[in-house]
Chains A and B, each alone.
Chain A
Amino acid sequence: MVNWLSAGFCIRSAFHPSQTISKKLMENTSQQQEEEKEFLAAYDEHSASLFRFLTMKIADREVARDLTQETFTRAWDFRQGGGVIRDWKPFLFRTAYNLVVDVYRKKRSVSLDHLVDDQGFSVSDDNADEKRTVANAEMSRVRKGIDQLDETYRDIILLRYTEDLPPKEIARITGLSENVVSVRIHRGIEKLKVILGPDQK
């Protein structure tokens, strides 16, 4: 009898950790599913703007698409390694920005306006009001003007006005101080006005 009890104790001892493992495995699987869901939701929400930013920055549709994908895989790698992403948008933009700066060093060789015309980019339809007030010719002129901006200003202008990011977020993405970003936004706009002509003053 004693032996049976003893055996029972041993079996319980042996099975107890496995039950803990089973519970943990299920928790992990559930957590994994939640993480995947959150990640894909971030993709659905931010991939378009990331692609747009990357396209504007490097003027190459195919590379921009690849870099968009790479940005998300790096974000996942960061999560997978135990990193915490509290706010996806600035994190993704910062990742994309670093990716271009550190990895993809090729300079823009195609003008933005040329790219839009030649590679079939369509102007989004979700800005009907703006489209009514800005004729196609004027948009082309603005794109050429943005092209002429120094990269120092262009990136920040695009992040501020195309992506609607506040200076604080732009500062985090670019690694600059918020003051420097604010100054560059102001100066960039002034330079763009000069490029576009006196009627923009």
Chain B
Amino acid sequence: MKLLNFFKQDDREIAAKIRAATKVRMDDAARERTRALLSEYVKMRPVRVVEPAPVPGPLSGVSAFFMRHSMPAFAAVFVLIIGGGTAAAAEGALPGDVLYPIKVHVNEEMRATLATSAKAKADWQVSRAERRLEEAATLALAGKLDDATRAELDTNLDAHVKIADENRKQLEDENEAADASEVDTNIHAVLIARENILDGKLAAKAKAAARLETATFMMSARAVSAELNDGKASEGDEAESKGHRTAAKARIQAAKKFLNRLPVRLSDDARIQVETRLKEAAEAFSSGEVDVSEGNKVEASSHFDSALESATKIEAIVSVSTDTEDTEGAEDTSDEEGSGDDSGSGSSGGGGGGINPGL
């Protein structure tokens, strides 16, 4: 007790000196500028409200049909009534969320109408396809990517790719060969990324590999990645590299969201593994981006491959960990109470283990 009191005793004089000597402040103009920037930032990135899973009601066939097909119209009306804030709020929605139809049928369609040239239209459709992949990766980490959702996302992705391909043909007709070629590469890249994220068999294989090796923290999905590459040489190195970039980006973003939200319980070991893999993936991805900007295609491709390999492992680690938790029962969950707040998340929220936020 004496020792504690001793440590708690502050030397008032020197404490006052330290306080006085280190009081500095930001000038008011800079402070207000930063405040204004942050105010804009929070409007651009609205808080996502987690909704409980919808319970299907006993709707008649006609009602269900009406609901399904009138949703975009309702969504448009509500956006008009309530304003841009809702549209912005919908941006973080996932399949199954209340706001998801607004994201897909209003926000994205509206943005599609803003694209005037065939190239811009194609680019936006490719971006939409990438958004579907990111949604799939996010749901997969949360253990919510069931077959129906997977199929729905796959169908939507196909639709985006189809429109992009129509725009590509239009570019060819207009003798815009360079743009048409770029769109073609981007489409192939999305299709390669789709195999990585939406192929259920591949995910199962990665999971099996993780299950075998998770104990030693040496789990390797290299074989899985290699399998991805089989038969893809004809699609061109650039498309493959871009495909790996697209898949890695989607998986990294999904993992970051997952770690911030932690909707399922992860063991400490699994969390460390996920954070380590995420850090590796993000760093390799950043290196790849730098290589691209400097024109080093080979190095970029190598970095994107590494990023994808690390990012692909994350889903498998999470899947194995949650499976293990399920089988071990729920009797040890009491020590988690209250740990889902800032005290346990500061590391990921703060600093994120060196993860580049600018992906």
Contacts and interface: CB of A to CB of B under 8 A. Distances in A.
**Top 3 A-B pairs, shortest CB-CB distance:** A98-B351, A95-B350, A81-B260
B129 to A, nearest CB: 23
Interface string B12-46: 00111111111111100011001101110111011
Given A74-B352, A95-B346, A161-B18, A14 B49 contact: no
A185 interface: yes
Given A28-B86, A31-B49, A193-B14, A112 B351 contact: no
Contact of B25 (A122, A182, A193): A122
B340 to A, nearest CB: 7
Contact of A35 (B42, B50, B257): B42
Contacts of A185: 7
Contacts of A189: 11, 14
B14 A158 contact: no
Given A68-B26, A162-B23, A142 B31 contact: no
Given A91-B342, A186-B7, A142 B26 contact: no
| Interface range on chain A (Cβ under 8 Å from partner) | 35 or more
B67 interface: yes
A86 interface: yes
Contacts of A140: 21
Interface string A77-95: 1111111111100110011
B317 to A, nearest CB: 19
Contacts of A35: 42, 47
B26 A65 contact: yes
B31 A48 contact: yes
27 contacts: A9-B63, A25-B78, A25-B99, A28-B49, A43-B35, A69-B38, A73-B41, A78-B349, A78-B350, A79-B47, A80-B46, A82-B50, A83-B349, A97-B350, A98-B351, A103-B351, A123-B23, A127-B20, A127-B23, A139-B20, A142-B21, A146-B21, A158-B18, A158-B22, A161-B10, A182-B4, A182-B8
A95 B349 contact: yes
Given A102-B353, A172-B346, A10 B62 contact: yes
Interface string A117-154: 00001111011001101100011101100100000000
A78 B345 contact: yes
Given A72-B34, A81-B257, 18 more contacts: A22-B78, A25-B82, A25-B98, A25-B99, A29-B85, A29-B89, A39-B38, A52-B24, A56-B22, A74-B349, A78-B345, A83-B349, A94-B342, A98-B351, A102-B352, A124-B25, A157-B18, A172-B346
Interface of A: 9-10, 13-14, 17-18, 21-22, 24-29, 31-32, 35-36, 39-40, 43-44, 47-48, 51-52, 55-56, 65, 68-87, 90-91, 94-99, 101-103, 112, 116, 121-124, 126-127, 130-131, 133-134, 138-140, 142-143, 146, 157-158, 161-162, 164, 167, 172-173, 175, 182-183, 185-186, 189, 192-193, 196, 200
Given A25-B78, A87-B342, A121-B24, A72 B350 contact: no
B24 A83 contact: no
B7 A182 contact: yes
Contact of A82 (B10, B62, B261): B261
Contact of B20 (A21, A94, A95, A134): A134
Given A14-B63, A71-B350, A95-B350, A124 B23 contact: yes
A35 B66 CA distance: 35
Interface of B: 4, 6-8, 10-11, 14-26, 30-31, 34-35, 37-39, 41-43, 45-51, 59-60, 62-63, 66-67, 70, 74-75, 78, 81-82, 85-86, 89, 92, 98-99, 256-257, 260-261, 263, 340-343, 345-354, 357
Contacts of B39: 36, 40
Contacts of A122: 24-25
A48 B342 contact: no
B18 A102 contact: no
Given A94-B346, A103-B351, A78 B260 contact: yes
B48 A116 contact: no
Contact of A134 (B16, B31, B34, B343): B16
A80 B354 contact: no
Contacts of A167: 7
A175 B344 CA distance: 11
Given A65-B34, A84-B340, A172-B346, A99 B351 contact: yes
A24 B78 CA distance: 11
A103 B23 contact: no
Given A81-B48, A102-B354, A69 B34 contact: yes
A157 B352 CA distance: 25
Contacts of A146: 18, 21-22
